[in-house]
Amino acid sequence: MKPPAEGRISFRVIPSPLWLALSLSLLLLLGYLAIGDPVHHEMTPWARLASLLPLILLCALMVLDSIQRVEMESDGIRVVSLAGIVLAKISPLRRLQGGRNFRMSWARVDAVELRIPHFQSPFRRTAPRGWLMAGSSGRLVKIPLGHPQLPRALALLRHFVHPYFLQLPSRDWEGKIPPRMVLERMLRSVVLNPNTPPGFIIETARACLLWGSNSQAERLMDLALSSHPQDEALLEEYFQMMKRLGRQEKAKDAMEKLIHLRSSPMDLLEMAEMKHAEGDQKGATEYLLQAVERPPSSDLAHFLLGCIYVQREGLEETALDQWKKGLDRARHPQLLGKLGDAYRYHRALLTTPGFFEREHRRMRSLIWSQRLAMSGAVLVLAGLAWWWVAPHSAVPFPGRSGALLIIGGILMLSAIVLRRSGRDPRA
């Protein structure tokens, strides 16, 4: 699949339709309270609107935050919510846009994978519920399945992200999803025709996976492999499917057969990953050391070896040596960026005085900013609701409801200060 000719795409997504519907419902409820006065406070409409204005503005921001504009280009991914765009037009202060806008270089993308819930509504006929997710912890781009720009976004991701970090149904998946009725016809063909080719069975299993039917996909892959147990292409598809389904034993057996049938460095890396997932650090290291001697994948092997060594006490210098060797051999731009970031960060961690203490304080500030922001928001909402239901709670000023508002506001201001000090300098 080739990337778009212009090398850049821009589109809008709704990461969570449920959150958008909840925000719109709350906004409509506040509008009803402001216009209808169902609790009979005997206030004028303008007074009711003024009293509910903070909550209305908050809900409007929630609605705008539920819609994002995603831009993918050669230097990375940029995500901006509509709330961030509106606030940028109102005020140039970046603090008002914090958390709503972020830019992520391709080197910071840790994985590209599908997230498909097991339950799929029977009313969905053309595309299942699920997302193509790209990014790292805390910074994710979610593209709903069936989005018109999904194939173009997938083409760009394949172009800029190393194949090792692409966790997709197959290596050549282009984002096409058969409708539910087509899947039903494919299943009937497999059941009624005992001589169905293995390629068609694999395609049917992939469609079952996309529609959340994991058990059916596993049975179909077992059926395809039983007819050609030594076929390399079929074993590779079987391994990818079992790995995606979390069937580690079956995936491990298929990979062991592939290692005996062919000499591929990527097979050694996949086997090392499975050993690492099982907790066998020694076995994972042995496979990675074998992959280091294979030039096409030696850069990735050095990167993974460094990631393993850095987790062991006393081997930090060895991890730096592995990353440095990987930098000398790296070919893929994204892997080169990852190696450079890892090498610089951990070298500073080992050689710069006070670097570890500063990182510890930064992470602690970030964690506490999230806690204080959540607590402050809850107190502000509780204070406003209490004052609206029982106005006498604010007499004499500030009263109990007013005290909740003041405390919540102080906590939210403290969270803003701590978030600024906890910002990652590499972002």
Q: How far apart are CA 181 and CA 187, in angstroms?
A: 10
Q: 131-136 and 139-144: which strand pairing?
A: antiparallel
Q: What per-residue confidence (pLDDT) applies to 43?
A: 64
First to last CA, the chain: 30
Q: What per-residue confidence (pLDDT) applies to 424?
A: 64
Assign 3-class secondary structure to 224-275: HHHHCCCCHHHHHHHHHHHHHHCCHHHHHHHHHHHHHHCCCHHHHHHHHHHH
How many other CB atoms sit within 10 Å of the CB of residue 151? 13
Please give the C-alpha separations between residue 15 and each of 111, 139, 174, 191, 426, in angstroms, as whole numbers. 17, 13, 21, 37, 26
> What single letter denotes the amino acid at residue 213?
S
Q: How far apart are CA 306 and CA 401, in angstroms?
A: 55
Backbone angles phi, psi at 115, to 5 degrees: -120, 110
> What single letter denotes the amino acid at residue 258?
L
Which pTM value belongs to this model? 0.78
Query: CA angle, 285 as apex, 280 and 288 as ends, to 5°?
Result: 130
The pLDDT profile of the chain, 427 residues, written as one tens digit per residue, is: 555 555 789 999 888 788 888 888 878 877 777 776 655 556 677 776 777 777 788 788 888 888 889 999 988 999 888 887 887 777 665 555 555 678 888 998 999 999 988 888 888 888 898 999 998 877 888 999 888 999 999 999 999 999 889 988 888 888 888 999 999 999 999 988 888 899 999 999 999 999 989 999 999 999 999 888 888 989 999 999 999 888 999 999 999 999 998 888 888 999 999 998 888 888 999 999 888 887 767 888 999 999 899 888 788 889 999 999 988 888 889 999 999 988 888 888 888 888 778 888 888 888 888 899 889 888 888 887 787 777 777 777 678 887 888 898 888 888 877 877 666 655 5
Query: CA angle, 153 as apex, 66 and 101 as ends, to 5°?
Result: 40
Q: How far apart are CA 240 and CA 266, in angstroms?
A: 13
Q: And the tokens for 297?
A: 């994948």
